[in-house]
Amino acid sequence: MFVNLRRIRKCKCVLLMTTCMFLSMVMVCWEQLDSSALGHVKSYSYRYLVNRFTAINKTFTIPREQARRFSNFHYLLDHPDKCTGKDVLLLLFVKSSPENIERRNAIRSTWGNETFIQKALGVTVKVVFALGAPVTKKGEPVWSKRSEVGFQQELAHEDRLYGDLIQQDFLDSFHNLTLKLILQFHWMHRSCAHARFLMTADDDVFVHMPNLVSYLQRMSRRGVTDFWIGRVHKGSPPIRNKSSKYYVSPEMYPWLSYPDYTAGAGYVVSSDVADKIYQATLTMNASLHIDDVFMGICANAMGVSPQEHVYFSGEGKAPYHTCIYDRMMTSHSHVEDIHDLWKAATHPRVKQRTSGLIGRLYCTVAKLALLCKPYYVDTYPCKAALL
């Protein structure tokens, strides 16, 4: 007994010493350790051990007059009465670029068809596209043929046909995505504040509208507040590689990890959260161009944190399978296949095949096989198979 105890103490001592040595090594080499894997270790430790995101709030807060320049752009196209007098369950902003008219048309005739949603699902969903002003890019033949003025006229024509473009006069570019984020929250505040939920999505995201609507109806009946759902990034490190488009300088963001946020590909917030984010944008320095990270910073300042939903995808693409269609909310990178996917995913046979004891058992096995592969496939997480 005595010997055993001593051995245990010895073990503990060795463990303690190794930990100390490891930690001091980490301390000494902290600045030099910079490979991507270690970057994640550092950011995770920061997220879970230090976690002083309060400093971020302070650093990003600027006087209102200065914050105004991120939101006082003119509307080139606008529909302030879009939601008036309607009981809107969901206001859905699709972040689109002027040139992506085909993607917009595909969305209008599939998951974003408001008439279909009203008729088949019995709820009002408003789908609008958030755009900046067109840019003529050099070196691209299609673009160089059109002037910016001509391009704007084409957009105005498209808007006369469908009445769903919301456009401000900042240049539509990757580095202006945060301005587009602010546009969405400000537009909702001004013109659609009574919508129960706000969603923002990329224009190459597939949204399983029937699944999403029934989920949001359930949440709405429960009267959820502080609701922010999507694919959550926890402890993501800022990218310090200057050739990456996600590069953020240490001056702009000095900490080791971002506050939790949801992938910009598609997420949903309840109207109270939308209002809080709107309030936050009034006093925030929106120079950080990564829109979903900026959303995380605003939410952090307002004390809101995101929740994970396993069937929201970030970069990932859903496997084509009946059992997945039964549960999926969003899936990324769908352009050519959007019509086929819409047909397949909303076909009545999906519910027939996946219901009942046999159907559910079959689906658990099928989803385990699809999602729990031993090698990494970017899709829904393995645990989605069991839910």
Choice between 23 and 171, CB closer to ligand NAG:
171
Min CB(253)–ligand NAG separation in Å: 8
- Is residue 317 within 8 A of residue 324, CB to CB? The reply is no
Q: Out of 71, 287, 305, 333, which residue is the one contacting ligand NAG (CB under 6 A)? A: 287
Please report whether residue 136 would count as binding ligand NAG according to CB under 6 A: no
Please report whether residue 61 would count as binding ligand NAG according to CB under 6 A: yes
CA–CA distance, 352 with 344 (Å, rounded to integer): 13
Contacts (Cβ under 8 Å, ≥6 apart) of 213 = 89, 90, 117, 121, 123, 125
Kindly report the backbone phi and psi dihedral angles of residue 198, in degrees, each rounded to the nearest multiple of 5, phi listed first. Answer: -125, 130
SS3 call for 243: coil
Min CB(61)–ligand NAG separation in Å: 5
CA–CA distance, 296 with 257 (Å, rounded to integer): 11
CA–CA distance, 300 with 101 (Å, rounded to integer): 35
CA–CA distance, 93 with 266 (Å, rounded to integer): 10
Choice between 109 and 355, CB closer to ligand NAG:
109
Number of residues that bind ligand NAG (CB under 6 A): 25
Select the span of 90-98, 110-118, 144-152, 373-381 touching ligand NAG (CB under 6 A).
Answer: 110-118
Facing residues of 124 across strands?
88
User: How many Cβ atoms from other residues are within 10 Å of residue 162's Cβ?
Assistant: 14
Min CB(180)–ligand NAG separation in Å: 10
CA–CA distance, 34 with 45 (Å, rounded to integer): 14
Choice between 32 and 243, CB closer to ligand NAG:
243
Whether the CA torsion 41, 44, 49, 55 is positive or negative: it is: positive
String of contacts with ligand NAG for each residue 243-282, x by CB under 6 A: xx------xx------------------------------
Please report whether residue 176 would count as binding ligand NAG according to CB under 6 A: yes
Select the span of 150-158, 169-177, 209-217, 365-373 touching ligand NAG (CB under 6 A).
Answer: 169-177
Kindly report the backbone phi and psi dihedral angles of residue 206, in degrees, each rounded to the nearest multiple of 5, phi listed first. Answer: -100, 130
Q: Out of 39, 47, 57, 95, which residue is the one contacting ligand NAG (CB under 6 A)? A: 57
Residues numbered 79-108 forming contacts with ligand NAG, rule: CB under 6 A: 108
Nearest of 229, 383, 376, 228 to residue 312 by alpha carbon: 229
Measure CA of the first residue to CA of the last residue in the chain; give whole Å. Answer: 47
String of contacts with ligand NAG for each residue 183-222, x by CB under 6 A: ----------------------------------------
Min CB(219)–ligand NAG separation in Å: 25
Min CB(4)–ligand NAG separation in Å: 50
Residues numbered 35-54 forming contacts with ligand NAG, rule: CB under 6 A: 54
CB-side exposure of 153: number of CA atoms within 13 Å? 5
Q: Give the chain's largest Cα–Cα span.
A: 89
Min CB(301)–ligand NAG separation in Å: 4
> Which residues form the interface with ligand NAG (CB under 6 A)?
54, 57, 61-62, 66, 108-109, 113, 115-116, 119, 170-171, 173, 175-176, 241, 243-244, 251-252, 285, 287, 301, 303
